[in-house]
Amino acid sequence: MGLLFPETGPPVTIDNEYIEQHQRVYSTYLQHAQLETQLCEEFGIGEFGYVVGKDPNHFLVVTRKLDERRKEFVAGGKNMDECRQRECVWPFQDTVDVGHNPRGAVTGFMDR
């Protein structure tokens, strides 16, 4: 006996363009994840965005340096649209103005 519905093809067709689009998106995701990891290692940012240690001056230095790096990252866009996109994907947010999305906010100190 054959298939129940031999004239019916697969329910979803995935073409090469779709695969390439997902590969580009995933590549961009990996680049941003690598940037976050690099910044965390460089500035001693711990789990959930905490600055490791209890020195308030160190905290201010880290947040100031992150702000400088954020401005450089955003300015690296080729045009205004790309700069706005870069602003949205920056992995950290200001500690005072985290708004409705606290993901990646540098939030305070953490004991080592």
Q: Using only the alpha carbons of the chain, give its radius of gyration.
A: 21
What 3-state class would DSSP assign to 1?
A: coil
Rounded distance, CA 47 to CA 110, Å? 8
pLDDT in tens, the chain (112 residues): 456 666 777 778 889 999 999 999 999 999 999 999 999 999 888 877 788 888 889 888 998 999 999 999 999 999 999 999 999 889 887 655 555 544 555 555 554 4
pLDDT at residue 1 in the model:
47
pTM for the model stands at: 0.67
What is the DSSP pairing of strand 108-110 with strand 50-52? Answer: parallel
pLDDT computed for residue 12 by the predictor:
81
Return d(Cα 107, Cα 98) in angstroms, integer. Answer: 9
